[in-house]
Chain A
Amino acid sequence: MIKKKKSQPSDIPTASTADIAFLLLLFFLVTTTINSDKGIRMVLPEFSEGEAETKQIHKDYLINILVNAEGKVLLNEEEVSLNDVKLKVTERVLKDHQAAIQKTAETYSNVGYLDQKFLKKYSTGKFTKDEEVIKDEYVKNLKLVVSVKVDKNTEYDVYIKVLDQLKQSYAKKISIAEPNV
């Protein structure tokens, strides 16, 4: 004789699921830190064995920055204050830009925006959208390299200040010179 099996109620009580989930949630809430890191991004050059790869840069396209142990800044053999680095570099970039535009304008004096009107406008520093694009394009193709050389005992803070200002100015190519061995 087969006894009829009585199916037992097999429900797992789910009333406390919410409590368990809340507990886990609290744990993750407490351990999570949302703030992410921020700073100045750099991409280092690849390491080459033996003889360091050298690249000749014409001095017209070079800005030399030397920083000594006391935090004094020498920009192209001229002492500048730490907060003037941005100004000097920007000035130089815009001067180069102006010279380039002038040269182009002389060659194609009657083409579009590269005329006397544009040059006049250039001196006032106000650009239309099109001109802004040309300027950006120029800055992107800029050959100017800024070489930063620091002393062994220079404070990191000074170096970051110089780097920060270079990033703010139009100089996009920054070279960090090797420390003297």
Chain B
Amino acid sequence: MKLRARTSPKNEISTASLPDIVFMLLIFFMVSTVFKESSGIPVILPQAKEIQKIETKRLIRYIYVSGAGDVILDDVPVTNQLESVSAGFIEKRQKEPRIIVSMRADKRAPMGTILEVQQELRKANALNLNYSTSGGGTQ
């Protein structure tokens, strides 16, 4: 008996639209990427329950306070010259007036320093403040 040679049906997936799909994904990630301006310092954030998420990531500017009370703005320690905090934020507000200041302070940071930083923020009229916390918390 003679076996007929099987003609394999063409079952390739068309790849013509592949670049389009990939470009679409690419555009999404390009738009949603925000590059960090400063790397900051590692801090242990306090925990809280009643927290809100900030959706507009582009508007956030960070200020770091370490456990020992060192204040870091844009990767520069400004501990003994807190006036430069208000100067820095006045400049930031000129570029983007709707900024939200996110305070990333360590659990053990002294309140004296934090209140002084807040005074400086008030002077710079940067009034939208966020105490950065991690989730969880009591009750």
Chain A: interface residue total (CB-CB under 8 A): 45
Q: Is there contact, CB below 8 Å, between B111 and A21? A: no
Q: Is A159 an interface residue (CB 8 A)?
A: yes
Cβ-closest chain B residue relative to A21: B22
Q: By DSSP majority rule, is chain B's interface helix, strand, loop, or mixed? A: mixed
Q: In chain B, residues 23-50, which have Cβ atoms closer than 8 Å to a Cβ of chain A?
A: 23, 25-26, 29-30, 32-33, 35, 46-50
Is A124 located at the chain interface by the 8 A CB criterion?
no
Which of the 9-residue segments B2-10, B77-85, B118-126 touches chain A? B118-126
Give the residue of A25, A41, A179 whose beta carbon is less than 8 angstroms from that of B129: A41
Is A18 in contact with B19, judged by CB distance below 8 angstroms? yes
Interface size, chain B (Cβ < 8 Å) = 55
Interface residues of B, Cβ cutoff 8 Å to A: 15, 18-19, 22-23, 25-26, 29-30, 32-33, 35, 46-55, 57, 60, 65, 102-103, 105-112, 114-116, 118-119, 121-123, 125, 127-133, 135, 137-139
Separation of A22 and B110 alpha carbons in the complex (Å): 48
A37 lies within 8 A of B107 (CB): no
- CB of A175 closer than 8 Å to a CB of B: no
Which residues from B are CB-within-8-Å of A151?
111-112
Which listed residue, B32, B46, B122, B137, touches A44 by the CB 8 Å rule? B122
- Cβ–Cβ contact B123 & A47, under 8 A: yes
Give 4 closest A-B pairs by Cβ, nearest first.
Answer: A152-B112, A28-B29, A47-B122, A167-B50
A159 contacts across to B, CB distance below 8 A = 111, 114
Chain B CB within 10 Å, residue with most, of A45, A150, A151, A160: A160
Contact between chains at B111 and A156 (CB < 8 Å):
yes
Q: Is the CB of B132 within 8 A of A37?
A: yes
Given contacts A18-B22, A36-B54, A156-B109, contact A168 B115 (CB under 8 A): no
The interface residues of chain A lying within 8 Å CB-to-CB of B18 are 18
User: Given A14-B19, A153-B112, A155-B108, A37–B130 Cβ distance below 8 Å?
Assistant: yes
Please, what's the 1-or-0 string for A145-173, where 1 marks a CB less than 8 Å from any CB in chain B? 00000111111110111011101100000
Q: Say yes or no: is A9 at the interface (Cβ < 8 Å to chain B).
A: no
A163 near B26 (CB under 8 angstroms)? no
**Residue A46 CB within 8 A of the other chain:** yes
Q: Is A76 engaged at the interface, CB distance under 8 Å to the other chain?
A: no
> Using a CB-CB cutoff of 8 Å, which residues 18-53 of chain A contact chain B?
18, 21-22, 24-25, 28-29, 31-32, 34, 36-47
Contact B50 A168 (CB under 8 A): yes
Residues of A contacting B25 with CB < 8 Å? 25
Which residue, of A21, A86, A161, A163, has the highest number of chain B Cβ atoms within 10 A?
A21
What mask results when residues 93 to 122 of chain A are scored 1 for a CB within 8 Å of chain B, else 0?
Answer: 000000000000000000000000000000
Q: How far is the CA of A156 from the CA of B60 in the complex (A)?
A: 21
Complex CA distance for A165 and B49, rounded to whole angstroms: 8
A31 touches B139 (CB 8 A): no
CB of A17 closer than 8 Å to a CB of B: yes
Q: With A14-B19, A22-B22, A167-B50 as known contacts, state yes or no: A39 contacts B122, CB within 8 Å.
A: no
